[in-house]
Structure 1
């Protein structure tokens, strides 16, 4: 998913004059320094030898780079630049295009210009462009591409402009202070539309709706608004209140879902695009976007207890605009990193006191877990007590580490990786457990979760029963 990028405001604020003048002379090229040195040497020789003609030559050689530096000093602040990202939010391993625009706002033409933009090394080589002489009021536009396999937020800029005089005596670098941020979000995989539970749970294909108003005594009318259908006018309430009253429409109860991401440093081993942790982050991003597209009021929860869009019952019940919520969650997942949290108790507290407390089931719970010990497995088993359905994607770091880097040493502590006993504990507590093999596509795992859920429901004797 990507968001449109706005152009950066132009900026051309000069620094102190004394520092600028010093910078102008420090920008002399090798040719300019050679001319200056030759002129000084000629002047000294003319003084020693008493040759006035040699003194004139020395003055000419020394004055040329000085004049070029002064001219360049007076004109270099009359060039403005801007940058535009397209898009400003891009998926990992995808390309974004950066558009640069330089404009000459002075009354004098410029010399040869070299344009350079600073980019982090993970985005590729530093782009450089050579611009020909630019007429007064003229503009030039160039573009380059950036790409990163690693998610994150990367600053672009500041833009640097190197100006040279026609003789190549002096080069001055102009730096703009404005920067842009390119957000590289996890790769999102399209998930198939499946029904992880039955009609009665309030999510999936069959959503729970508020009970229809039946009977005249159950009507809760409201005042008439322009555009209301006249057939919805409730005449008895109209006569009682003395103004037009209409029946309220049935309000749908929005489906709720919590996506839990385990970020504990002790739960994942290895790093890079093919690691278990990156798969879990990408899986969480795919799940969040999939559920938002289907009308869920989704929230992202981590083991630290941090909740996005925000914590509390209001976040899930109100449901922010889906595009805004999706962008906020993707931005969060773009920079999420390993936490030093020792366990999952903070996430459990958030689920226990989250939306729907005291109201029965709170909706769908989808979790992505790394390695756990027996204590954390017991905490996970208690998490799904208030969920209509709970799906856990479990990743064994030992398998992923050996698959990601052949010959990788066995660094997973004993008792941390998943075994059949812990998987059985989760299944008996109500979780639909999906072990994730290295490199498995998220879409296939999502479909497998639906199949396992359906098989468990059939075994229980009712569609959508707890696993």
Structure 2
């Protein structure tokens, strides 16, 4: 049965034809018909044996020009083929498996097998959809010269490519309006003394030797030194990844807009020296690291892998379990469709001495609807509670929304 499957339609016709001619030759005692039918059968069986013969020492190596690319960027793939032996002459068809979103599978053929000096072929793909994808395995089809039989084989190795969010060059948020720049963070660190000591309110059971009298005199309440090391005020970057808060499909969806905006904004904040925390609707993703370059790489990795979640609240991303919220921390939120409960959660999370910025999406426009008034209402409510808000639609680019957020005092629709 396996041998029958390896025959092409042409090969099956030749084999069946040969058997029928042999049968008629026997019935009519015609030696010529028997010889003709036998020759046809031998040709079909010989083709089957030829393609079933192993390809000696066939190896391949796939190389990618890069290991990760932003959405919408092309990248090159090179395949090097080598073979340690000649083997029988045959036609080899190669096909490299690629993700459907990256285009058509590249195909090429070699007549007579792989040359002794090897063979190199290259092709280009485009990262259209964010995520991690695997290229391969390489499929090999062995054909005889007459196209009567085929034998399909496959290598097992694959190569990973990460398609990161689309990145836009964004400027830093102004210190006067955002409090996210280095100068503003220093000014906002109201509970950090000249000796760079981190303090908190006194709790019953605290050792009185930890009382920080300078902060106590300034605040008017008993303050004690924290046991942990001193910290720098940080910015929490919140990405709204709730499935119920987004609309649209594919790269043009509101969620992909939000991920791209979060990645671009996060890199802009890191570039100006901010200490960054990343959170989504499921909670805190990662906290600051001592090596800024690692934080930059980790930010892109996390936002490459982020997916929609079934969570319905933003509370986990704004208030991590067991976390004591730092009074001078700032919040930058990229938000989808809000509800009254979300509004109350965001208002509660407004930093006491830090800044609060929000890129708010009019999600309905990403599904083809007209611009609604619900999101504009929530944007105005947040602005009235001290947030700086930029309201964006499907036609708003990330740089334009960010520029509006940098300039706005209150809320601005873009």
Structure 1 and Structure 2 fold alike (TM over 0.5): yes
CA distance 1:345–1:176, shift in 2 (3 Å): same
1:348 pairs with 2:318: yes
In structure 2, C-alpha distance between the alignment counterparts of 1:444 and 1:188, rounded to whole Å? 14
2:375 to 404, 418, 423: 418
CA distance 1:110–1:103, shift in 2 (3 Å): farther
1:123 pairs with 2:95: no
1:366 pairs with 2:332: yes
* 1:196-207 mapped onto 2 (5 Å cutoff): 196-197=175-176, 203-204=181-182
Number of the residue aligned with 1:268: 246
In structure 1, C-alpha distance between the alignment counterparts of 2:107 and 2:54, rounded to whole Å? 22
Count of residues in Structure 1 that have an aligned counterpart in Structure 2: 375
2:234 to 247, 256, 267: 256
Q: In the alignment, is the contact (CA less than 8 A) between 1:190 and 1:290 conserved in 2? A: yes
Number of the residue aligned with 1:308: 285
Number of the residue aligned with 1:141: 120
Q: In the alignment, is the contact (CA less than 8 A) between 2:363 and 2:393 conserved in 1? A: no
In structure 2, C-alpha distance between the alignment counterparts of 1:157 and 1:165, rounded to whole Å? 25
2:71 to 92, 99, 102: 92
CA distance 1:442–1:136, shift in 2 (3 Å): closer
TM-score by length of 1: 0.71
Number of the residue aligned with 1:58: 37
Q: Deviations over 1:287-340 (max 9, x none)?
A: 1222233333322211121x333xxxxx32x34x44443333323323433322
Number of the residue aligned with 2:162: 183
Unmatched tracts of structure 1, length 5 or more: 1-21, 215-250, 310-314, 457-467
CA distance 1:259–1:135, shift in 2 (3 Å): closer
DSSP-derived class of the 1:56 partner: helix
> Structure 1 residue 114: deviation in Å?
1.1
Q: Deviations over 1:83-102 (max 9, x none)?
A: 22232322222212222222
In structure 2, C-alpha distance between the alignment counterparts of 1:84 and 1:102, rounded to whole Å? 12
Number of the residue aligned with 1:48: 27
> Structure 1 residue 191: deviation in Å?
0.5
* 1:399-438 mapped onto 2 (5 Å cutoff): 400-401=365-366, 405=368, 408=369, 417-420=374-377, 422-438=378-394
Q: Deviations over 1:338-360 (max 9, x none)?
A: 3221221222322x854xx3764
CA distance 1:65–1:295, shift in 2 (3 Å): farther
* 1:158-237 mapped onto 2 (5 Å cutoff): 158-197=137-176, 203-204=181-182, 208=186
Q: CA RMSD in A?
A: 3.2
TM-score by length of 2: 0.79
In structure 2, C-alpha distance between the alignment counterparts of 1:387 and 1:348, rounded to whole Å? 16
DSSP-derived class of the 2:407 partner: helix
> Structure 1 residue 190: deviation in Å?
0.5
Q: Deviations over 1:240-267 (max 9, x none)?
A: xxxxxxxxxxx99656222101122232
In structure 2, C-alpha distance between the alignment counterparts of 1:359 and 1:90, rounded to whole Å? 35
> Structure 1 residue 213: deviation in Å?
7.2
> Structure 1 residue 127: deviation in Å?
1.8
Q: In the alignment, is the contact (CA less than 8 A) between 2:135 and 2:161 conserved in 1? A: yes
CA distance 1:395–1:56, shift in 2 (3 Å): same
Q: In the alignment, is the contact (CA less than 8 A) between 1:369 and 1:395 conserved in 2? A: yes
> Structure 1 residue 116: deviation in Å?
0.8
Q: In the alignment, is the contact (CA less than 8 A) between 1:155 and 1:179 conserved in 2? A: yes
Q: In the alignment, is the contact (CA less than 8 A) between 1:105 and 1:136 conserved in 2? A: no
1:299 pairs with 2:280: no
> Structure 1 residue 377: deviation in Å?
0.5
CA distance 1:290–1:133, shift in 2 (3 Å): farther
CA distance 1:326–1:118, shift in 2 (3 Å): same
2:299 to 316, 329, 344: 329
2:16 to 23, 29, 37: 37
DSSP-derived class of the 2:300 partner: helix
1:277 pairs with 2:255: yes
DSSP-derived class of the 2:166 partner: coil
- Runs (4 or more) in structure 1 with deviation over 6 Å come to 209-214
In structure 1, C-alpha distance between the alignment counterparts of 2:240 and 2:180, rounded to whole Å? 25
